[in-house]
């Protein structure tokens, strides 16, 4: 079985003195407004959990570490960190001394992973936005500009673009710093590079990428996209009567006892559904779509859902991961086809599914490391 403890984690441990006590942190960075409408202040936060703990307890409230910054606008790259993260930097550089009985123990801290959504990660890594040129921090996909009613940048499918390595990232930083120009999507130095390997230790979170990302987008299209840009009827569109019938079936399903949240109607409550509810649909309701989606779209969706389920297992075999990679590659490749959802819908979140298999190989199941606990606070 694939190990949950990955090669990066092992390397972190090997760099430490065997006599040292080291805690490896999984960090989460995000910002949110005080209120949904109008101009208001923001709270930008970085939280952490202990990666060395068992996945069942690492996300408990008592095991979280928090750092906060309050402001009315987005902090500038690096300035935010250098000004407001002094205590965190001191913790990383000097560790923490604790007293256990008569014995003093020096605890050292290292970053194992950092999670940030598509809006926050450019602030963390000082790089282009997800919809900018070379906006993917994981690879060198340049993105493609296409003409719609407005100019739009998309991630056309390709397996030819190289994966960014730590060395490639550091070289791009040097070029950007020396020329004062953006190079391969990198604007310059990132404060976090002092404590972590970029981009290897940047983690793609299933909550943002899928449950409130690609899957939610697909359901929105099934509900709302009656016609395409050529004024032709979209074959994936579900009319109101089909949506109503599907919702009636959803609420009649008996879910496993561990599902605590009541599952609401999918299409009727689409704008208010929680990530757990989208997860329930992917985990348990895929067969229901067979009677509603045309075969081409159902098989495409089933490949996507199966790949996610394989990569969310507690134990994942090499065969499982191979199958998941092939299914996800098929999903991304077909997504932008003119007979599916079209190139115009090939956004960043669809693209990064190509990086999931390597992430699972390195860090284990996608369900082991999520930001559910952080987003729920």
Question: Phi and psi of 107, rounded to 5°?
Answer: -95, 130
- In the chain, % helix, strand, coil (3-state, to 5) comes to 40, 15, 40
Taking alpha carbons only, the member of 70, 64, 66 closest to residue 31 is: 70
Percent of the chain having pLDDT more than 90? 56
List Cβ neighbours of 217 (8 Å cut-off, separation of 6 or more): 345, 347, 349
The gap from C-alpha 162 to its chain's centroid, in whole angstroms, comes to 20
Distance CA 252, CA 91 (A): 51
Helix 356-363 vs helix 7-14: crossing angle, to nearest 10: 40
**Residue 334 CA to its chain's centroid (Å):** 21
Tokens in use for 216? 């939610």
Write out pLDDT tens, residues 82-137: 666 777 888 888 888 888 888 888 888 899 999 998 888 998 899 999 999 999 99
SS3 152: strand
Asked if residues 169 and 179 have their Cβ atoms less than 8 Å apart, the reply is: no
Distance, in Å, from the CA atom of 265 to the CA atom of 368, rounded to the nearest integer, reads 27
What mean pLDDT is predicted for residues 307-311?
97
Q: Does residue 1 have a pLDDT over 50?
A: no
CA–CA separation, 172 vs 126, rounded Å? 12
Using CA atoms, how far apart are residues 32 and 10, in angstroms rounded to an integer?
34
Please provide the average confidence, as pLDDT, over all residues in the chain. Answer: 86
Q: Is the pLDDT of residue 372 over 70?
A: yes
Return d(Cα 137, Cα 359) in angstroms, integer.
14
DSSP 199: T
pLDDT tens track for 188-239: 999 899 999 999 999 999 999 999 999 999 999 999 887 666 667 788 999 9
**So where are the chain's domains?**
1-116+193-203, 127-189, 206-375
For the chain, the distance separating the N- and C-terminal CA atoms, rounded to the nearest angstrom, is 34
pTM: 0.88
Asked if 233 contacts 226 with a C-beta cutoff of 8 angstroms, the reply is: yes
Over residues 289-309, mean pLDDT: 96
Bin 231: left if φ > 0, else alpha if -120 < ψ < 50, else beta.
left
For 299, 323, 327, 366, 367, the CA distances from 330, given in Å and listed in that order, are 11, 11, 5, 19, 22
pLDDT beyond 90 at 63: no
- DSSP for 40-83 reads --EEEEEEEEETTS-TTTTTSGGG-EEEEEEESSPPPTTHHHHH
| Separation between Cα atoms, residue 316 and residue 147, nearest integer Å | 42
Looking at the predicted structure, is the pLDDT value of residue 38 above 70? no
């Amino acid at each position: 079985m694939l190990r949950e403890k990955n090669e990066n984690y092992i390397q972190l441990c090997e760099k430490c003195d065997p006599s040292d006590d080291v805690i490896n942190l999984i960090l989460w960075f995000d910002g949110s407004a005080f209120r949904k409408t109008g101009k208001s202040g923001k709270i930008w936060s970085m939280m952490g959990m202990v990666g060395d703990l068992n996945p069942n307890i690492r996300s408990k409230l008592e095991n979280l570490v928090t750092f906060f910054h309050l402001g009315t606008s987005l902090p500038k790259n690096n300035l935010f960190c250098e000004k407001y993260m002094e205590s965190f930097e001191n913790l990383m550089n000097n560790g923490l001394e604790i007293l256990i009985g008569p014995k003093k123990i020096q605890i050292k801290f290292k970053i194992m992973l950092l999670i940030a959504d598509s809006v926050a990660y450019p602030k963390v890594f000082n790089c282009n936005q997800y919809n900018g040129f070379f906006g993917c921090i994981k690879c060198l996909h340049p993105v493609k500009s296409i003409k719609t009613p407005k100019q739009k940048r998309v991630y056309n499918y390709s397996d030819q673009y190289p994966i960014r390595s730590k060395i490639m990232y550091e070289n791009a930083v040097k070029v950007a710093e020396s020329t004062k120009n953006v190079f391969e999507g990198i604007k310059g130095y990132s404060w976090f590079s002092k404590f972590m390997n970029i981009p290897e230790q940047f983690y793609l979170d299933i909550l943002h990428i899928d449950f409130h990302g690609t899957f939610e987008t697909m359901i929105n299209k099934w509900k709302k996209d009656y016609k395409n840009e050529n004024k032709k009827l979209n074959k994936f569109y579900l009319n109101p009567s089909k949506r109503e019938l599907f919702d009636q079936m959803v609420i009649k399903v008996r879910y496993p006892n561990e599902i605590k949240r009541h599952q609401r109607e999918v299409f009727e409550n689409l704008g208010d559904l929680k990530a757990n509810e989208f997860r329930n649909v992917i985990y348990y309701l895929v067969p229901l779509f067979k009677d509603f989606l045309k075969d081409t779209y159902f098989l495409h969706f089933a490949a996507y859902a199966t790949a996610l389920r394989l990569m969310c297992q507690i134990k994942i075999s090499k065969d499982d991961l191979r199958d998941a990679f092939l299914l996800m590659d098929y999903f991304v490749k077909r997504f932008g086809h003119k007979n599916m959802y079209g190139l115009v819908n090939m956004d960043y979140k669809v693209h990064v599914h190509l990086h999931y298999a390597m992430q699972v190989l390195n860090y284990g199941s996608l369900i082991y490391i999520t930001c559910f606990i952080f987003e729920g606070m």
